Chains A and B, each alone.
Chain A
Amino acid sequence: MIEFDRVAKNYDGRPIVADLSFTVAQGEFCALVGSSGSGKSTTLRMINRLIERDGGTIRLDGQDIATLPLEQLRRRIGYVIQSAGLFPHWTIRNNIATVPRLLGWPEDRVSKRVDELLALVRLDPATGAKYPHQLSGGQQQRVGVARALAADPSVLLMDEPFGALDPITRDALRVELRAIHQATGKTILMVTHDIDEAVQLADKIAILADGKLVQFGTPAEILGHPANDFVRDFIGGTGIGLKLLSLQRVGDHLRPGLTATGASIAASAPLTEALSEMILRHTDRLPVCDDKGGIAGAVALADLVT
């Protein structure tokens, strides 16, 4: 759990972050979004004290971070940055083992943990013996995530973790990050400027502008009830309806009795995918299959807007 209580940061007398209060609950995935200069990265870095705040309190699992020794605090927090920031002179295994070794784990436990993590981020065990420069950007970022998770921290901080990757790799890693979040139950706070990424991944979204929190809520709340014109513009103006649609699953709007022709769509697919298929096929209904592949009913165009 991460609590911000009236946190402030100034540079040269100019407020970068002002009166910031919000709480990321245990196990929650929170996205911190805003345009550049909104203070979102500063906010993130104040948690592991890469930047020291000028006012207010930040609590990690109920403990004021100011009361913890710096290195001890940092070893309890996983940190993932944009270009991975792997140590170029260490093998992948040694990179992942960084924090466990700092914590003095016995070597056999470290080795076992590294194996687990390579599997978790879906890297071939043979990758462990390689050096960072021998890996693609996407693989390096997987290692970055594994390294951050190594000592089993309760909190994971991510600063634009997919910003430097190509769209295909980015999408694949987003899907896997969701799976990792579900599997590990970590509290995650991720900085991004991409509202779509936030909507796709996060349980809660915090929107920052000029160092102030303008809105904090679930993706549905923010898309459905933007707090003001700034938020409305930021989350995409005319595209908001489609983003809201993407939050819902085909299964939520399934009509079991209804029949339709053509290829079926999975109940777990987002509704935007159903809409896209209908437009492509010039039809107003699609058959829906459940996760075992059997036809469960159909979804109709009229249901998408209700």
Chain B
Amino acid sequence: MALAAITLLFVLSVTAMPLLAPVFAWAFPAIVPPVYAGDSFATLFLYHAALVVTSSIASIVLGLGGAIFATRRAGAEFRPLLEALATIGQTFPPVAVLAIAVPALGYGDLPTFVALALYGILPILKNSMAGIAGVSPTVLEAADAMGLRPMQRLWRVELPLAAPLILAGVRVSVIVNIGTATIGSTVGAVTLGTPIIGGLIGDKLPYVIQGAIVVGLFAIVADMGFERLDRRLRRLAARQ
């Protein structure tokens, strides 16, 4: 119910922002036009979402892949290193990651994509390692003794049992990326951050507010979606 209401509000914010023009005109009479008049919010949202989705997929592949590697016997010695990297990496502000990416990759979508993907790996890597390592040793012993091959054990036992924790990591990663992607507009990526950055530079507060409303609602809707997915997953995987 709440999800439906927020989703509706979000869709309205993307499609019907111009309808709020009289409100913004009344509150900020000096700003003309009162509603951001560059790309439409729908277009900005699509660019923004594409950036978040692609970078999140890259984060999931790398983060989960790293966690699977670190929890195999061959990769066990790398686990402390990866854990340390994930912890230290998260103390870096995303802007710093972006600042490092630009000199290497130039302006536009690419440095933003790389920065988001790298920054998004960390929570997924950390949670996935914890989730996979947390599967009961008795269950793993049983899986081995039943004659599951290492890949079968991974897909049928370890990943499903670690799924709730992995999903929690993906959730943090995606939500953070939705917010962080706005900063991409400082290096030339087209995102929902474009009106925000433009508004800050041009001293046009309503544009900042409009961009922030859409990004905020986007993040809330995504988070509620994950919440629902998580509940479904837990029902599916009745755990001890």
Q: Name the B residues within 8 Å of A131 (CB-CB).
A: 238
- The smallest C-beta distance from A139 to any residue of chain B, in angstroms, reads 14
* B239 in complex: contacting residue of A70, A79, A88, CB < 8 Å: A88
CB <8 Å contact, A133 and B238? yes
On B, residues with C-beta under 8 Å from A are 136, 138-139, 141-149, 152, 157, 160-161, 236-240
Q: Name the B residues within 8 Å of A84 (CB-CB).
A: 138, 142
A71, CB-defined interface residue at 8 Å: yes
Docked pose: A87 CA to B146 CA in angstroms: 11
Docked pose: A89 CA to B136 CA in angstroms: 12
- The smallest C-beta distance from A161 to any residue of chain B, in angstroms, reads 13
CB <8 Å contact, B138 and A85? yes
A23, CB-defined interface residue at 8 Å: no
* B160 in complex: contacting residue of A74, A89, A102, A147, CB < 8 Å: A89
B-facing mask of A66-107, CB < 8 A → 1, else 0?
Answer: 000011111101010111111111000000001100100000
CB <8 Å contact, A75 and B147? yes
CB <8 Å contact, A74 and B144? yes
A132, CB-defined interface residue at 8 Å: yes
A50, CB-defined interface residue at 8 Å: yes
Number of inter-chain CB pairs below 8 Å: 67
Given A87-B142, A98-B146, 13 additional A-B pairs, CB 8 A: A71-B147, A79-B145, A79-B146, A84-B138, A84-B142, A85-B139, A87-B143, A87-B157, A98-B148, A99-B146, A102-B147, A133-B238, A133-B240
CB <8 Å contact, A74 and B145? yes
Docked pose: A87 CA to B142 CA in angstroms: 8
- Residue of B with least CB distance to A79: B145
Q: Name the B residues within 8 Å of A73 (CB-CB).
A: 147
CB <8 Å contact, B161 and A89? yes
A192, CB-defined interface residue at 8 Å: no
- The smallest C-beta distance from A113 to any residue of chain B, in angstroms, reads 15
CB <8 Å contact, A87 and B139? yes
A48, CB-defined interface residue at 8 Å: yes
> Do A86 and B142 contact each other (CB < 8 Å), given the known contacts A102-B152, A131-B238, A133-B238?
yes
14 contacting pairs across A/B (C-beta < 8 A): A73-B147, A75-B146, A79-B142, A79-B146, A81-B145, A85-B139, A86-B142, A87-B157, A88-B237, A89-B236, A99-B146, A102-B146, A132-B240, A134-B238
* B138 in complex: contacting residue of A48, A83, A134, CB < 8 Å: A83
Docked pose: A70 CA to B141 CA in angstroms: 14
